[in-house]
Amino acid sequence: MDYTTWRHAFKLDPAKTVTDDELEKLAESGTDGLIVGGSDGVTLDNVLELLVRVRRYSVPVALEVSTVESVTPGFDYYFIPTVLNSTQVEFINGLHHAALREYGHMMNWDEVVAEGYCILNPDCTAAKMTGVETVPDEEDVIAYARMAEHLFKLPVFYMEYSGTYGDAEVVEAASRILENTRLFYGGGITNAEEAKTMAALADTVIIGNIIYTDLKAALSTVEAVKSVSRQR
Ligand code: 1GP
């Protein structure tokens, strides 16, 4: 299933543990895709281990690349974040440049999807790693959304609230801007109601942490997201 039709995705952190039984429930939950990715402790070994395990199922799998060293063939997609509100050039286009110098000649561009990240929780690991110093307000987010949609024509704008539940008004402001660029929402979803709220605003809703603390609640978000459509 093409990632442009994904409504719901689980994000699996290779540095965290899931049992085979839990993984089967996630993969066969009806979710549209699994994203393998994390900010911290991602290695080639733990990415490969998870890849082998998720490949038992037919669900599409994307690797969200956080370190070049952990990239390996075998995924359906490679999601490449560029952090639009980072203060450090390496996270905007520096690592990308280094990777393309080395591997650009052998990349399959049909599998590569650039994500324009807007990090909205300054306390999350991704914010600290990438030098996000201030929380973008609504006007900032609108400007970043326009940057993604019109200036850089990125396929995805990712509102990353990792670890905290987002402000629906701010997500809605971005949603109004984005037409061709798909809106990914991720952060702090712990139940079906929260998932539905963001599913009305975003194209794709991403569920992370709750997988590791309350699997039942995580699984309940699949049906919830699919029961609503993004409002236009
Ligand atoms: C993290 O956006 C995802 O990159 C999901 O966030 O872990 O808070 O669900 P949570």
Does residue 42 form part of some domain?
yes
Domains held by the chain: number = 1
Does residue 231 form part of some domain?
no
Q: Ligand 1: residues whose CB is within 6 Å?
A: 11, 160, 162-163, 186-189, 206-210
pLDDT in tens, 140-191: 999 999 999 999 999 999 999 999 999 999 999 999 999 999 999 999 999 9
Name which of 161, 160, 63 is nearest 108 in CA terms: 63
Does residue 56 form part of some domain?
yes
Round the average pLDDT of the chain to a whole number and report it.
Answer: 97
DSSP at 188 = -
**The residue to which tokens 């520096």 are assigned:** 94
Does residue 25 form part of some domain?
yes
DSSP at 91 = I
Does residue 102 form part of some domain?
yes
Which of 6, 8, 10, 11 has most ligand 1 atoms within 8 Å of CB, for mutation?
11
pTM given for the model:
0.97
- Residue ranges making up the domain that contains 87: 3-226
Report CA dihedral (159, 43, 124, 168) to the nearest 10 degrees: 20
Task: Work out the end-to-end distance of the chain between its first and last CA atoms, rounded to an integer number of angstroms.
Answer: 23
pLDDT in tens, 115-139: 999 999 999 999 999 999 899 999 9
Does residue 177 form part of some domain?
yes
Residue 41 has pLDDT above 80, yes or no: yes
Provide the pLDDT for residue 9.
Answer: 98
Residue 208 has pLDDT above 80, yes or no: yes
Residue 61 is part of a domain; what is its CATH number? 3.20.20.390
Provide the pLDDT for residue 1.
Answer: 77
Report the percent of the chain where pLDDT is more than 70.
Answer: 100
- Phi, psi (5° rounding) for residue 82? -125, 120
Does residue 53 form part of some domain?
yes
Tell me the pLDDT band of 232, cut-offs 50, 70 and 90: confident
Q: Please report, in range form, the residues annotated as the binding site.
A: 11, 13, 39, 158-163, 188, 208-209
